[in-house]
């Protein structure tokens, strides 16, 4: 039996293409699940901050932020967000940029590492992205993050202690250092089995094809039992 394929994903919970990429990867994996010898995978999420200088409580909406951050005219930003919303809908995600509360995401990344240490990273990643893009929840303040951690069954007191002590900040910085070492300057970025880099929110078929290809090669290389 071959070892599972490792899929390491660098992303930011405030990145709209990262949530779309996550859904497309999940769809690609679902398509391979009925194969005679279905690929086995281990997925790990890694931290990447798109806008580390963003304040926790940003005064303005997403259009204000992007217009200021990217120097784009407001009408152009509105068109860009409309396009992203349409693409997200195609992946089954109902983005609500009108509700979105832009914030600094470093504490959310710390929480993801806390969740990973407690076996709930995947659930926490999904909860954070849904809260941010669909529900208009604040994901930058400790109180709000602890509430989200509690919702997925993590210990609220332990989550609060970890965030207040910045217990996992070093792990966040290590992820970011690894991204720099790989030359990753945009997300989402998928490293598949340590040898293939896939950049951007590729369609499900692209993930399906590369996963099947990697799995087939692993099966050939696996020692006979």
Measured in degrees and rounded to the nearest 5, phi and psi for residue 42 equal -120, 120
CB 5 within 8 A of CB 175: no
Tell me, what's the pLDDT at 221? Answer: 84
Tell me, what's the pLDDT at 222? Answer: 73
Task: Please state, in angstroms and rounded to a whole number, the distance separating the CA atoms of residues 51 and 59.
Answer: 15
Tell me, what's the pLDDT at 224? Answer: 59
Tell me, what's the pLDDT at 156? Answer: 98
Length of the chain equals 225
Tell me, what's the pLDDT at 160? Answer: 98
- Homologous superfamily of 5-221 in CATH? Glutaredoxin (3.40.30.10)
Domain residue ranges in the chain:
5-221
**Which stretches of the chain drop beneath a pLDDT of 50?**
none
| Omega cis (within 30) before 178 | no
pLDDT tens-place string over residues 90-131: 999 999 999 999 999 999 999 999 999 999 999 999 999 999
**3-state DSSP assignment of residue 160:** helix
Tell me, what's the pLDDT at 68? Answer: 87
- Give, in order, the Cα–Cα distances in Å from 123 to each of 115, 128, 171: 8, 9, 19
- The phi-psi region of residue 194 (left if phi > 0; otherwise alpha if psi is between -120 and 50; otherwise beta) is left
Tell me, what's the pLDDT at 1? Answer: 67
One-character DSSP codes across 95-129: --TTT------HHHHHHHHHHHHTT-HHHHHHHHH
């Amino acid at each position: 039996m071959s070892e599972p394929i490792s899929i390491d994903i660098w992303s930011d919970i405030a990145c709209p293409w990262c949530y779309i990429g996550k859904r497309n990867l999940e769809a690609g994996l679902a398509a391979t699940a009925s194969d005679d010898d279905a690929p086995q995978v281990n997925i790990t999420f890694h931290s990447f901050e798109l806008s580390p200088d963003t304040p926790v409580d940003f005064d303005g909406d997403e259009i204000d932020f992007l217009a200021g951050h990217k120097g784009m005219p407001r009408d152009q930003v509105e068109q860009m967000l409309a396009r992203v919303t349409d693409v997200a809908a195609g992946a089954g995600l109902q983005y609500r940029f009108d509700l979105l509360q832009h914030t600094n995401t470093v504490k959310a990344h710390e929480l993801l590492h806390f969740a990973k240490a407690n076996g709930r990273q995947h659930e926490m990643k999904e909860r954070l992205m849904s809260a941010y893009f669909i529900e208009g929840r604040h994901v930058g303040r400790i109180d709000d993050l602890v509430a989200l951690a509690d919702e997925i069954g993590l210990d609220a007191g332990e989550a609060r202690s970890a965030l207040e002590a910045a217990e996992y900040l070093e792990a966040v910085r290590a992820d970011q250092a690894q991204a720099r070492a790989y030359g990753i300057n945009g997300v989402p970025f998928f490293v598949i089995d340590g040898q293939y880099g896939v950049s951007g929110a590729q369609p499900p078929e692209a993930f399906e094809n590369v996963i099947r290809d990697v799995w087939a090669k692993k099966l050939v290389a696996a020692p006979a039992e």
